[in-house]
Amino acid sequence: MTDVTAEEYGCVPSMAPVFLMQARVYYEDTDSGGVVYYANYLKFMERARTEYLRSLGFQHSGPAASGDSGSAEQGAAPAVQFVVRDAHMKFVKPAKLDDLLDVSVLVSRLGNAGLDVDQVVSVGGQTVCSATIGLACVSAESLKPARIPAVVKQAMTHKIVEQHHQ
Amino acid sequence: MTDVTAEEYGCVPSMAPVFLMQARVYYEDTDSGGVVYYANYLKFMERARTEYLRSLGFQHSGPAASGDSGSAEQGAAPAVQFVVRDAHMKFVKPAKLDDLLDVSVLVSRLGNAGLDVDQVVSVGGQTVCSATIGLACVSAESLKPARIPAVVKQAMTHKIVEQHHQ
Amino acid sequence: MTDVTAEEYGCVPSMAPVFLMQARVYYEDTDSGGVVYYANYLKFMERARTEYLRSLGFQHSGPAASGDSGSAEQGAAPAVQFVVRDAHMKFVKPAKLDDLLDVSVLVSRLGNAGLDVDQVVSVGGQTVCSATIGLACVSAESLKPARIPAVVKQAMTHKIVEQHHQ
Amino acid sequence: MTDVTAEEYGCVPSMAPVFLMQARVYYEDTDSGGVVYYANYLKFMERARTEYLRSLGFQHSGPAASGDSGSAEQGAAPAVQFVVRDAHMKFVKPAKLDDLLDVSVLVSRLGNAGLDVDQVVSVGGQTVCSATIGLACVSAESLKPARIPAVVKQAMTHKIVEQHHQ
């Protein structure tokens, strides 16, 4: 993704560890070419991002994540959503019915108002599809650009640091 | 549909003419069995119901139809939605990629708070899938059961009478 | 399902125990009504049927199940598929984003060439959607009606007996 | 798309005119965010590519196009498919239920074994989503890379010339 400037996102190089999720291929995911319908990889990737955010403690989070801090001092963090702003996908080899997919999530850039997520879908160690998904943080109410709540950003960073210390 | 009593819907025998819509089968609609994925017939049928309602002058209408009368005298009709309450489907023969589907809409029962719609999907005159879809009318705000607005009911009945006079 | 005669399927009353699977609701499953798009319950139900068959040892089985006996004496059982022949669905109350669905599978009739499966989707013990799905067994090659392989039928029956003895 | 070399595709600058198709947004296309689910833009774009190819005389063509020349002299052109190899999408503003989408198709690069298609989805002249879709031509039998049949390439080029002369 060369079309997003570091300035725009206020990015720092990511050291985020990889989050992994598995998903099974069912009939609903395939097409008459006998393989997974390519648009559906965006669905598998979103499921994994959702579970990644859930693992950090954030619900309602597909592209949308409500940052609910529960902090008594600051009041609740403003409710935000992550909306998909761009997607750059490569379809490497087809996955088939009954395949067990490994779907990875790696925050490759973490900015003030958005982030990039690198994702790979693989079967038995072979890459099926890879993508970089650009997410923008918006207010859940106005849908206008918003800062990523500190609690969300800390959780992502904390997870990085935590794993680097293991 | 033997499980819905006439009383419950306040039904009268329908004389509604058949509304028809065509839809093309694309890759997105198929599965690795090489045919249209059966759940997708519900989508084709809903598209046809939506266009049927649009032909009567009602927008925002998938399962949801807002009865917007636009009449200054009576005020706007209450905003309602039609939600799918039950579906009885028979899958007769498969449709394939690139097939041109004929999708029919026939209001077979028109009650006070709901209606039944008989629908057939066919290819070249051969039935592919048939279904009876039961719809309940609900308030767009509270989502509680509501009367079908008179303007909607009249439009459905008017169309019947109109066609019977042709 | 009153429209399928016992004779047609050669049915015996089922004593099958309930198979359960859980599934999460993601954005892909919802519609702009703010709830799970009703057609998608057919997908959740198929996932559960697929996992039920997988638990019995049968792969490639969404609607399709290849009965692979592995028996040296008879050779492999003929490859068959289960195709959905009818579906009778009731939509009771809506499920929402992030809900965790419980999806049940109960073989309610087991015939020679087909079976009926009763399925319930619930959230926190509350029924969301219930359905009876009629499946026909067909040859994987000719797609013509075929007997359910003995090995599949035995597995289904065995599981029943097994659980009744627990 | 900076990651595909001109050499790789044997590209020439495209002068292809824009092909246009309209598509309505139904409930099936939306998500609980109240807008079109972003992955579904890939479906709308594929429908338009399919109709573009159909307008040139080629069937079975979602990503897949069978180049059927029907020429007695040369025999039938080898059956090929176009498979999606990469996709670069930008989601600019959301489309909503009942919107009428304009979906454009512009062949921006036409190589020997693949092509790039620039596509824009808009509503009332406002861009909703834009993408460059990279397609590879493969043998319908072996699914290995294949040359785009001359008859397909000529049809694409002819259309360009035809429109430039109008």
Q: Is residue A1 part of a domain?
A: no
Q: Where residue D98 falls among pLDDT bands split at 50, 70, 90?
A: very high
Q: Is residue A143 part of a domain?
A: yes
Q: Is residue B129 part of a domain?
A: yes
Q: What is the pLDDT of residue C140?
A: 86
pLDDT of A67 over the 80 cut: no
Rounded to the nearest integer, the mean pLDDT of chain D is 82
Q: What is the pLDDT of residue A57?
A: 86
Show residues of chain D in contact with A90, CB under 8 Å: 85-86
Rounded to the nearest integer, the mean pLDDT of chain B is 82
Sign of CA dihedral B101, B106, B108, B112: positive
Q: Is residue D1 part of a domain?
A: no
Q: Is this prediction's ipTM beyond 0.85?
A: no
Q: Is residue C110 part of a domain?
A: yes
Mean pLDDT, rounded, for B86-93? 98
* Token duo for residue B99: 């097939």
pLDDT of A12 over the 50 cut: no
Smallest CA-to-CA distance from D104 within D126, D119, D89 is with: D119
Of residues D28, D46, D98, nearest to B26 (C-beta):
D46
Lowest mean pLDDT segment, chosen from B24-33, B113-122, D4-13, D18-27: D4-13
Can you give the pTM of this predicted structure?
A: 0.84
Mean pLDDT, rounded, for A10-27? 75
Do residues C105 and C125 make contact, with C-beta atoms less than 8 angstroms apart?
A: no
Show residues of chain B in contact with C91, CB under 8 Å: 83-87
**Would you please indicate which residues of B are annotated as catalytic (active-site) residues?**
31
> How far apart are alpha carbons B76 and B69 in whole angstroms?
5
For chain C, residues with pLDDT lower than 50 are 1-15, 61-75, 164, 166
**Would you please indicate which residues of D are annotated as catalytic (active-site) residues?**
31
* Nearest-CA distance A161 → chain D (Å): 32
Q: Is D137 or B60 the better-scoring residue by pLDDT?
A: D137
Smallest CA-to-CA distance from A95 within A26, A3, A165, A154 is with: A26
- Cα radius of gyration (chain C): 16
Q: Is residue D145 part of a domain?
A: yes
Show residues of chain C in contact with A27, CB under 8 Å: 46, 50, 62-64
Q: For chain A, how many structural domains are there in total?
A: 1
Q: Where residue B159 falls among pLDDT bands split at 50, 70, 90?
A: low
Q: Is residue C51 part of a domain?
A: yes
Of residues A27, A47, A98, nearest to C46 (C-beta):
A27
pLDDT of D166 over the 50 cut: no
Specify which of B14-18, B120-124, D80-84 reaches the highest per-range mean pLDDT. Answer: B120-124
Q: Is B35 or D14 the better-scoring residue by pLDDT?
A: B35
The CATH code of the domain that includes B58 is 3.10.129.10
Q: What is the pLDDT of residue C52?
A: 94
Mean pLDDT, rounded, for B53-65? 67
Collapsed DSSP state (helix, strand, coil) of residue B8: helix
Mean pLDDT, rounded, for D111-123? 97
Q: What is the pLDDT of residue D77?
A: 57
Show residues of chain B in contact with C90, CB under 8 Å: 85-86
Q: Is residue B82 part of a domain?
A: yes
> How far apart are alpha carbons C108 and A22 in whole angstroms?
31
Q: What is the pLDDT of residue A15?
A: 47
Do residues D146 and D139 make contact, with C-beta atoms less than 8 angstroms apart?
A: yes
* Nearest-CA distance A39 → chain B (Å): 8
Q: Residue C109: which domain range? A: 10-164
C59 contact A CB<8A: yes
Side-chain-side CA neighbours of D75 within 13 Å: the count stands at 2
Amino acid letter, D52: Y
* Nearest-CA distance B131 → chain D (Å): 18
Q: What are phi and psi of A14, to 5 degrees?
A: -85, 140
Q: What is the pLDDT of residue C136?
A: 97
Report pLDDT digits (tens) over A104-156. Answer: 999 999 999 999 999 999 999 999 999 999 999 999 888 899 999 999 998 88
Q: Where residue A164 falls among pLDDT bands split at 50, 70, 90?
A: very low
Q: Which helix (H) or strand (E) holds D80?
A: strand D80-91
Query: Alpha carbon B146 to chain centroid distance?
Result: 18
Interface with chain B: mutation pick from D25, D60, D98, D100, highest number of B CBs within 10 Å = D98
> How far apart are alpha carbons B126 and A115 in whole angstroms?
51
Q: What is the pLDDT of residue C157?
A: 82
> How far apart are alpha carbons A60 and A45 in whole angstroms?
16
Mean pLDDT, rounded, for A78-90? 93
Inter-residue long-range contacts of D57-66, CB under 8 Å, 24+ positions, other chains counted: D57/D155, D58/D152, D58/D155, D59/B98, D60/B97, D60/B98, D61/B98, D62/A31, D62/B26, D62/B27, D62/B28, D62/B97, D63/A33, D63/A38, D63/B27, D63/D135, D64/A33, D64/B27, D64/D140, D65/D152, D66/D140
